[in-house]
Amino acid sequence: MAVTIRRIRTEDLFRVQHRNLTCLPENYQMKYYFYHILTWPQLSYVAEDTKGRIVGYVLAKMEDKQDEDDKDWQPHGHITSIAVMGSYRKLGLATKLMRQAQYSMVECYHAHYVSLHVRRSNRAALHLYSIALAFETYDIEEGYYADGEDAFAMKMILPKDPMEVFKHIDRSHVQIPE
């Protein structure tokens, strides 16, 4: 199964939205996808198979500074959404999509860290984020999702050198949060 990872393009958005609808319970209006790729065009990527199907994507953004007087604020990214088609899972595509977005966050925006939210019940995603990608849980947001499910708020410190994003980190000792 040959797959190419490339930067998302405007003409991909209907296929990305379709992938979102078929893989995830959280769905977005088309204007939200446009907002991401028009505002942060370097940060979102698709995985495309040889037939031109979008089999995965990552939608990412940079967080805005909320308080101009906040002297501790650091530029940081956020993973809005990531999905991989069921038959393409366990091939490392989610890791590759995430790493590419993280690389671009550091390269283009000098991001210090990246954050995301994950459903408390999504064990596969928790394993990916905690073990494969070295994210750490820093909070639980009660009732975060529309159906009332809690979310783990997670973040990963990013290296200063964007190429360091691609280095493997042994996290086999990490416990996945309950």
Residue 121: pLDDT band (50, 70, 90) is: very high
Q: What pLDDT is attached to residue 44?
A: 94
pLDDT in tens, 35-63: 999 999 999 999 999 999 999 999 999 98
Instruction: Look at residue 173 in the predicted model and tell me its pLDDT.
Output: 47
The pLDDT assigned to 174 comes to 47
Q: Which residue has the higher pLDDT, 167 or 36?
A: 36
Give the per-residue SS3 of the chain: CCEEEEECCHHHHHHHHHHHHHHCCCCCCHHHHHHHHHHCCCCCEEEEECCCCEEEEEEEEECCCCCCCCCCCCCEEEEEEEEECHHHCCCCHHHHHHHHHHHHHHHHHCCCEEEEEEECCCHHHHHHHHHHCCCEEEEEECCCCCCCCCEEEEEEECCCCHHHHHCCCCCCCCCCCC
User: What global pTM score does this model have?
Assistant: 0.86
Q: What is the pLDDT of residue 102?
A: 94
Token pair for 151: 């979310």
Q: What is the mean pLDDT of residues 57-70?
A: 82
**Tell me, what's the pLDDT at 51?**
93
Q: What is the pLDDT of residues 99-120, one digit of tens each?
A: 999 999 999 999 999 999 999 9
